[in-house]
Amino acid sequence: MQVSNLLIEGVNLMLLGMGSVFIFLTVLVLAMSGVSYLAKTLFKDDPREKLASEMTLSPSANEGDEIIAVISAAISRYRAK
HEC string for 10-37: HHHHHHHHHHHHHHHHHHHHHHHHHHHH
Q: Does the predicted model carry a pTM greater than 0.75?
A: no
pLDDT in tens, the chain (81 residues): 799 999 999 999 999 999 999 999 999 999 999 999 998 888 877 666 666 666 655 556 567 788 898 999 999 999 997
Which residues lie closer than 8 Å to 67 by C-beta, 6 or more apart? 59
Distance CA 14, CA 20 (A): 10
Query: For the chain, which residues make up each domain, given as ranges?
Result: 3-80
- Give Cα separations from 61 to 10, 36, 69 (angstroms): 68, 40, 12
Distance CA 54, CA 48 (A): 10
